Every structure is written in structure tokens, then in C-alpha cells.
Amino acid sequence: MSDAGVVVVQGGRVVNAEYSEQADVLIEGGVVRAVGPALPVPAGARLVSAHGRLVLPGGVDPHTHMELPFMGTRAVDDFYQGTRAALAGGTTMIVDFVLGARGISLLDAFRTWRGWADPNVCCDYSLHVGVTWWSEQVSEEMGVLVRSEGVNSFKAFMAYKEAFMLRDPELFSVFRRCKELGAIAQVHAENGDLIAEGEKEMLERGITGPEGHELCRPEVVEAEATNRAITIAGRARCPLYVVHVMSKAAAGVIARARRAGQVVFGEPIAAGLGTDGTHYWHRDWRHAAAYVMGPPLRPDPTTPGYLMDLLANDDLSTTGTDNCTFNACQKAMGKDDFTKIPNGVNGVEDRMSVIWERGVHSGKMDENRFVAVTSTNAAKIFNLHPRKGRIAPGCDADLVVWNPNATRTISARTHHQAVDFNIFEGMECHGVADVTISRGRVVWEGGLLAPDLRGTGRYVPRAAFPDYAYQRIRAQDQANQPRAVEREPYQGPVLAPDA
Ligand code: URP
Ligand code: ZN
Ligand code: ZN
Ligand code: ZN
């Protein structure tokens, strides 16, 4: 394993979102210094062979929940083990979510998350902030977070009634504030009222197992909320990022809005692209419960392929994981009542391989689109580009030597995550990270992680008004300004209102 000295990655095919080229990559001090054929090797440089391999920007996972306190327990993959696992799978940056309870200061919650992450992360990270309640204080704190703490994205929830859920006028206020600040509004789009009614109905019918989780949240519950969020963001003229798009119906709503010119981005996740909701009907309770997450995986087995088609064709834009993991004993908090099963699944380690297998190996997308949806697009939307999501002089040296021909079989027995179950168990994937380089340091090689990674990642602040979203918003604001009609004053009689 090597320190962040001089490294030359030799003989690979360097893949960016726009094009690929046969080139070496010279890295110094954690930054890419040169990309080109047959680069001279400085004395003392560490050589990494990439002959016959691809050299990709390290994955950016824009949606994780490491050690999240949630539903009466805490996610088992913490910032240390979760980010180690990310590196083993070729992901070199995560964006996690600060999710404070209703009534808690956003700034205090942000500092709490920094306190958990900073000493422990093994790769670079950034933080979105959840707006779980609304007040003048929240509005002011959003401003401080944008101006002073490098936050440019805020997540609002339309589900988790009694916990995080906001009502439509609050959503409108959050989106308008995002617009003012130059932030990206993010939304968890499910109709929380209908879910609450559905939960009651299922329990009354005696359906207490994990299948009840999906039955009370059918696709329409996700699609309705997605449409409502897009409508509200449209009225606020704010860019919108829909996290964890899980259904054909919701994806269709996003695709239509994009075709109508709205600035909206959809994020399917590894779980939704790699497996499906038929598992909720599994006879083994523990197996079925392992897949419980919100919105649920869909029992229609054609859903993953459909979401991948839309991702390949730019109807959907990025891929996350929503990595939020709970062990069997934690899931068992809901053994007699599915509403108490902590929601969340794994993905941070396996996302790159699952998407390569189902997206590239299947022939749906090429290597450049793979890079776009696993790093570049998220980096552009959240204003990390070109520092992240690109291999070019001046970019952070976060990259992966990727073997598209090797295969690996995913298993909880061999994964690096803390969780005791893997929702992709047994899946054979083409596409394996041979070497991962984080900030110029070889951190994963020959199936081994560097031993001293704790705390080596850094918090990456993000500036407001990312061009990728706000250029079009600005132009649309200019082009679509409402204007009063100039007319002569009305001179006729005016009826006096009845007393
Ligand atoms: O089931 C999920 N998605 N758990 C994490 C919290 C969230 O809504 O993203
Ligand atoms: Zn969510
Ligand atoms: Zn199953
Ligand atoms: Zn999430």
C-alpha cells in the first residue's frame, strides 16, 4: 500500500463520461497531474498496472445513511466500516444525510454528524441536510449551512408521518428557500397519509409480515407524491432531485417532467436496479424483512430492467444506494408488526458491480454512461465536478482500476460491510475493482484494504448554485417572467358591493 506520493497508473483505458482514451495517469499529492500516453515516470514513483483494464473515476454514492439513528435503533454500518466497504467496491466518495429529529436545530444536527464522520471516514464525504420540520429558525439555519458549511442540498420527506413528514405548504417553503440559496431540493416521495391508512388496514386484516410493508405502499403512493413534489418544485421554480426512485410509475412521472423541460433528476438505487420486491413474500421471515425499505422494492420483476433502461437513456440521472443497514436482531423489532421493522438495505459496496453487470454487461449502457451514472452526474448536480467524477489534470486522484471481464459473487460471507445479510446474495457480477485509489493513495489492492484508513477521508464542502442545475433555472426565470398586460383603465360603471 502506498502513501499519497507519486503514483503512475500505466497502460489503462481512461474512461470519462464524454470519451475514453488509452492513457497513463500521473498522480502527485493526491491530485491528478497529467493524463496521456506513455507518460515519463518520475524517480521513486509507485507504478500501478492497468494493462487490459479500465481506469474510471471513483464512484460517488450520493445517498447513504451511515450509523443513522432510525426507528428505535441505529444503522450498523458506521462511517468507518461503511466507507471501507465503499472503497473495496470502487466507490471513493459518499454523500450522507444529516437527519435530526423534528424540533432539533439543523446546525446542531450537522455538527453531530460531522463529529461522527470526521474521525472515522476512510474516503471523502459530504453531507446533505434533512429538513424534518419547518420554522423561521430552520429557514435561517439553511442559510448558514449554505453560506458557511458547504451544504447545497436539503432533503424533505413526504412520508414518515409523525416523524419527518412535511405538508405541501411546508414543502413549498423549503423548495422556495432552496431556490433563494441556490441549493438542490431533494425529496423522499411517498404519500405518508395513505401509507398510515394502509398500515392500519393491513394490520386489521391480520397481515403483520414484511409483505404488508409493500401492500400498503403500492406504486401509486410513490407516483402520486413524485408528481406532487415535481408540481410544487415547478411552482417554486427550484431544481428537484428525487431520491430512491423505486417504481416504474414514479420513474415515468420524472421522465415526463424532464421531457417537459423541468429541472428534475431521478436517482434509482442499487437495490432497485439489482433485485426486486418478490422477496417480501419469502417464507423465511428474516429473509423477507431484510429487504424492507421505503419506498419498497416492487414485486413486479420487470421493474429493475425498466429502471435501468430509463437510467441508460437519461430519463433517470444518477445511482445511489440508500445504504442503511440493520442486522437480524434489529429487523426483528418488527417480527409481529411490519411497521416496526427498521427500513433500510445495503448497497454501498456492491453498487458499482451491480450496475456494471445489469447496465453495461447486459448491453444497455456503454462505459461512458456507466461513469456518468456512477459518479459524474452526481458530482455535477451537487457541485463537486470536476474535482470528483472526472479524471483530468487538477482533479482529485480518486480512481478505480476496473476489470470488466473478472467476475465476483456477492455474499454477506465475504463483503466488508458490518451488516449480517446481503440483498444481492449469490449474484454473479462482471466488473470488479482491482485497485482503488483515494486522494492519490492505493487503498484497495489484491483483495486487501489498507490497514490504517480510519479518518483519512475529508469533508468536501460544496458551493451553492451548481451550473448543471441553475443555468437552466436562471434562463427559465428570465424567459418565463410573468408580465402584466398594459391596458387603458376601465372607465365604466362599478357596482357597489352589497352591504
Ligand atoms: O428505507 C429507507 N430508505 N431508509 C433510510 C431512510 C430514507 O428514507 O432514505
Ligand atoms: Zn428517503
Ligand atoms: Zn428471496
Ligand atoms: Zn435514504
Ligand 3 midpoint to CA 300 (Å): 14
Residues 456, 343: Cα–Cα separation, whole Å: 30
Ligand 1 midpoint to CA 294 (Å): 5
- Closest ligand to the CA of 427: 3
Confidence band of 2 (pLDDT split at 50, 70, 90): very low
Probe target for ligand 1 pocket from 64, 157, 324, with the most ligand atoms within 8 Å of CB: 324
Residues 4, 442: Cα–Cα separation, whole Å: 8
pLDDT value at residue 64: 99
For residue 448 the three cell numbers come to 486487501
Q: What is the pLDDT of residues 319-351, one digit of tens each?
A: 999 999 999 999 999 999 999 999 999 999 999
Look at residue 4 and tell me whether its pLDDT is greater than 80: no
Segment 388-405 shows an average pLDDT of 98
For residue 228 the three cell numbers come to 406532487
Which residue in 180, 326, 211 sits closest to 278, CA to CA?
Answer: 211
Q: What is the pLDDT of residues 103-130, one digit of tens each?
A: 999 999 999 999 999 999 999 999 999 9
Surrounding residues of ion ligand 2, Cβ less than 5 A: 188
Which residue in 388, 385, 463, 460 sits closest to 182, CA to CA?
Answer: 463
- Closest ligand to the CA of 187: 2
pLDDT value at residue 1: 44
Residues 83, 123: Cα–Cα separation, whole Å: 6
Residues 442, 467: Cα–Cα separation, whole Å: 32
SS (H, E, C) 97-153: EECCCCCCCHHHHHHHHHHHHCCCCCCEEEEEEEECCCCHHHHHHHHHHHHHHCCCE
Cell 470528483 sits on residue: 388
Take atom 1 of ligand 1 and give the residue whose Cα is closest. Answer: 293
For residue 373 the three cell numbers come to 451514472
Segment 210-224 shows an average pLDDT of 98
Percent of the chain with pLDDT over 90: 99
Ligand 4 midpoint to CA 82 (Å): 14
Q: What is the pLDDT of residues 24-72, one digit of tens each?
A: 999 999 999 999 999 999 999 999 999 999 999 999 999 999 999 999 9
Q: Are 414 and 353 in contact (CB under 8 A)?
A: no
Longest pairwise C-alpha distance within the chain? 94
The dihedral through the CA atoms of 112, 114, 119, 121 has a sign that is positive
Which of ligand 1's atoms lies nearest the C-alpha of 97? 9
Residues 481, 207: Cα–Cα separation, whole Å: 52
- Closest ligand to the CA of 189: 2
Look at residue 75 and tell me whether its pLDDT is greater than 70: yes
Which neighbouring-strand residues pair with 9? 25, 48
Ligand 3 midpoint to CA 277 (Å): 9
Say how many C-beta atoms besides its own lie within 10 A of residue 347's C-beta.
34
Ligand 1 midpoint to CA 117 (Å): 19
Take atom 3 of ligand 1 and give the residue whose Cα is closest. Answer: 294
Asked if the peptide bond before residue 295 counts as cis, ω within 30 degrees of 0, the response is: yes
Q: What is the pLDDT of residues 145-180, one digit of tens each?
A: 999 999 999 999 999 998 999 999 999 999 999 999
Which of ligand 1's atoms lies nearest the C-alpha of 343? 1
pLDDT value at residue 107: 98
Which of ligand 1's atoms lies nearest the C-alpha of 292? 1
Take atom 8 of ligand 1 and give the residue whose Cα is closest. Answer: 294
Ligand 3 midpoint to CA 136 (Å): 46
Label residue 138 exposed, middle or buried (CB < 10 Å: 0-12, 13-18, 19+). buried
SS (H, E, C) the chain: CCCCCEEEEEEEEEECCCCEEEEEEEEECCEEEEEECCCCCCCCCEEEECCCCEEEECEEEEEECCCCEECCEECCCCHHHHHHHHHHCCEEEEEEEECCCCCCCHHHHHHHHHHHHCCCCCCEEEEEEEECCCCHHHHHHHHHHHHHHCCCEEEEECCCCCCCECCHHHHHHHHHHHHHHCCEEEEECCCHHHHHHHHHHHHHCCCCCCHHHHHCCCHHHHHHHHHHHHHHHHHHCCCEEECCCCCHHHHHHHHHHHHCCCCEEECCEHHHHHCCHHHHHCCCHHHHHHCCCCCCCCCCCCHHHHHHHHHHCCCCCCCECCECCCCHHHHHHHCCCHHHCCCCECCCCCHHHHHHHHHHHCCCCCHHHHHHHHHHHHHHHCCCCCCCCCCCCCCECCEEEEEEEEEEECCCCCCCCCCCCCCCCCCEEEEEEEEEEECCEEEEECCEECCCCCCCCCECCCCCCCHHHHHHHHHHHHHCCCCCCCCCCCCCCCCCCCC
Which of ligand 1's atoms lies nearest the C-alpha of 99? 6
Surrounding residues of ion ligand 4, Cβ less than 5 A: 322
Confidence band of 499 (pLDDT split at 50, 70, 90): confident
Segment 384-405 shows an average pLDDT of 98
Ligand 4 midpoint to CA 385 (Å): 22
Ligand 1 midpoint to CA 493 (Å): 61
- The question of ipTM being above 0.85 is answered as yes
Ligand 4 midpoint to CA 202 (Å): 24
Per-chain mean pLDDT for the chain: 97
- Closest ligand to the CA of 280: 3
- Closest ligand to the CA of 163: 1
Per residue in 406-442, is it b (16+ CB within 10 Å) or e — as a string? eebebeeeebbbbbbbbbbeebebbbbbbbbbbbbbb
Which residue in 175, 173, 159, 174 sits closest to 246, CA to CA?
Answer: 159
Residues 60, 267: Cα–Cα separation, whole Å: 13
Probe target for ligand 1 pocket from 61, 67, 186, 322, with the most ligand atoms within 8 Å of CB: 322
pLDDT value at residue 165: 97
Ligand 4 midpoint to CA 480 (Å): 34
- Residue 22 or residue 2, greater confidence: 22
Take atom 4 of ligand 1 and give the residue whose Cα is closest. Answer: 344
Residues 192, 12: Cα–Cα separation, whole Å: 49
Residues 185, 195: Cα–Cα separation, whole Å: 23
Which residue in 484, 366, 462, 411 sits closest to 17, CA to CA?
Answer: 366
Confidence band of 3 (pLDDT split at 50, 70, 90): low
Segment 14-18 shows an average pLDDT of 98
pLDDT value at residue 163: 94
Ligand 3 midpoint to CA 263 (Å): 37
Take atom 9 of ligand 1 and give the residue whose Cα is closest. Answer: 322
With a Cβ cut-off of 6 Å, ligand 1 is lined by: 65, 188, 244, 293-294, 322, 324, 343-344
